[in-house]
Amino acid sequence: MTPYKLLLLPGDGIGPEVMGQVEKVIGFLAQAGIATFETEHDLVGGSAIDAHGVPLTDAALARADAADAVLLGAVGGPKWADVAYEIRPEAGLLRLRKDLGLFANLRPAICYPALADASALKRELVEGLDIMIVRELTGGVYFGEPKEITTLPDGTKRAVDTQVYTTGEIERIAHVAFDLARKRSGRVASAEKHNVMKSGVLWKEVVTRVHAEYTDVALEHVLADNCAMQLVRRPKQYDVLVTDNLFGDVLSDVAAMLTGSLGMLPSASLGAVDAKGSRKALYEPVHGSAPDIAGRDFANPLAMIGSLAMALRYSFGLGEAANLLDGAITDALANGARTRDIAAEGTQALGTAGMGDAVVAAL
């Protein structure tokens, strides 16, 4: 069989460390005859700025475009705080999302039973939590024009960002949400601010219309501010939660934090399915580059390894291998493997590499 083409973009901060553990797992999968990957490496974010002066080179983008899937660690850090806006580390990630057309960002917020006590919320509120946030990723205020700072005649400044959504953009993300809900609990909540934003009015209208094609799925509309509140109050009321780019950024972080295991949550960013049935895809942890703990063997690699599992499932149709890998993560945890972020106070924790080994051992 032809090997799957994977581009690895470790990025900044703890990115390279957690990516190292994914490479360990990839090595094992090949050895065990489960799946063979042809891996390439490139730079993104601050590391690309340091090497090339830009956070993503055209060559790296072309490689990402040619790969079957991209795995990304994390970008950014204080080192690049003074870089110009156009070439800041995050611009590399945003360019990947936009230019590869990765409009559908899937962010599962799962509370692992072994970790329910690590949540800030009371155990009974999060035990068994399993939310899938579907965030629109290539539209909204992230990319709308004008996006600029101008200087006024009196020398003061005026900054503008523009949130734009079209019917088509909303339709396709709504379909992703409803299709997912069919395979899950059959419930979708859609969050916007139609009481303040015209894009919220259109969002609600289009989601309602698309819903007519999914009579077997229940749809609830919720205002984004209330949704943030409800996520804290009674998170298990949600199953699939679809929302725009900016609200998705905030709400998915709230949902992730509820689980008490931020270091464990993967994400998938998917493009449209093409004529050949394949789609562009990028997989990355929900957590950031965590510069404060970078290089210290403290980082939890499970979100990155879980992102590989999502790639197996969504990009390569290797559902069984994905289950195997997810199972190995669960087993490693059940065997007591803990990195610092999820270890109970006063207990001994594994390092990044130690956790990677624990997963491979469980495989």
Ligand X SMILES: CC(C)[C@H](C(=O)O)[C@@H](O)C(=O)O
What is the set of active-site residues? Answer: 142, 193, 225, 249, 253
Output b/e per residue, 103-134; b: 16+ Cβ within 10 A.
Answer: bbbbbbbbbbebbbebbebeeebbeebebbbb
- Answer yes or no whether residue 238 interacts with its own copies by CB under 8 A: no
The single residue listed with the structure tokens 């943030």 is 228
Considering only residues 225-264, where is the footprint of ligand X by CB under 6 A?
A: 225, 249
Count residues binding ligand X (CB under 6 A): 7
Helix (H, G, I), strand (E, B) or coil at 149: strand
In angstroms, rounded to a whole number, what is the distance separating the alpha carbons of residues 36 and 1? 8
Among 34, 61, 114, 201, binds its own copies (CB under 8 A): 201
Helix (H, G, I), strand (E, B) or coil at 274: coil
- Answer yes or no whether residue 297 interacts with ligand X by CB under 6 A: no
- Answer yes or no whether residue 253 interacts with its own copies by CB under 8 A: yes
- Containing 146, the helix (H) or strand (E) segment is strand 144-151
Q: From ligand X, its own copies, none, which one binds at residue 247 (CB under 5 to 8 Å depending on kind)? A: its own copies
SS (H, E, C) 59-95: HHHHHHHHCCEEEEEECCCHHHCCCCHHHCHHHHHHH
Least distance between ligand X and beta carbon 182 (Å): 26
Which part of the chain contacts its own copies (CB under 8 A), choosing from 180-188, 197-205, 308-316, 351-359? 197-205
Least distance between ligand X and beta carbon 90 (Å): 4
Which part of the chain contacts its own copies (CB under 8 A), choosing from 2-10, 66-74, 232-240, 342-350? 232-240
Phi, psi (deg, nearest 5) at residue 9: -120, 90
Q: Is 296 annotated as a binding residue?
A: yes
Least distance between ligand X and beta carbon 121 (Å): 21
Which residues lie across from 131 on neighbouring strands? 109
Q: How far apart are the first and last CA of the chain?
A: 22
- Answer yes or no whether residue 234 interacts with its own copies by CB under 8 A: yes
Considering only residues 62-101, where is the footprint of ligand X by CB under 6 A?
A: 90, 93-94
Cβ atoms of residues 45 and 81 within 8 Å: no
Closest residue to bound ligand X by CB = 90
In angstroms, rounded to a whole number, what is the distance separating the alpha carbons of residues 351 and 355? 6
∠ CA 160-164-165, rounded to 5°:
165
- Answer yes or no whether residue 167 interacts with its own copies by CB under 8 A: yes
The single residue listed with the structure tokens 């042809």 is 38
Considering only residues 166-205, where is the footprint of ligand X by CB under 6 A?
A: 195-196
The single residue listed with the structure tokens 């299709």 is 179
Q: From ligand X, its own copies, none, which one binds at residue 264 (CB under 5 to 8 Å depending on kind)? A: none
Q: Is 107 annotated as a binding residue?
A: yes
- Answer yes or no whether residue 233 interacts with its own copies by CB under 8 A: yes
Q: If we measure between CA atoms, which residue out of 6, 74, 8, 25 comes closest to residue 46?
A: 74
Q: From ligand X, its own copies, none, which one binds at residue 314 (CB under 5 to 8 Å depending on kind)? A: none
**116: CB partners within 8 A, 6+ apart:** 123, 126, 127, 260
- Answer yes or no whether residue 9 interacts with ligand X by CB under 6 A: no
User: Length of the chain in residues, anyone?
Assistant: 363
**229: CB partners within 8 A, 6+ apart:** none
Least distance between ligand X and beta carbon 116 (Å): 24
Cβ atoms of residues 102 and 176 within 8 Å: no
- Answer yes or no whether residue 163 interacts with its own copies by CB under 8 A: yes
Considering only residues 46-85, where is the footprint of its own copies by CB under 8 A?
A: 76, 85
> Among residues 168 and 317, whose Cβ is nearest to its own copies?
168
Binding residues for substrate: 97, 107, 135, 225
Binding residues for NAD(+): 77-90, 288-300
Binding positions for ligand X, rule: CB under 6 A: 90, 93-94, 195-196, 225, 249
Binding positions for its own copies, rule: CB under 8 A: 76, 85, 88, 90, 94, 120-122, 125, 141-142, 144, 147-149, 152, 156-168, 193, 195-199, 201-203, 224-226, 228-229, 232-234, 246-247, 249-251, 253-254, 256-258, 262, 288
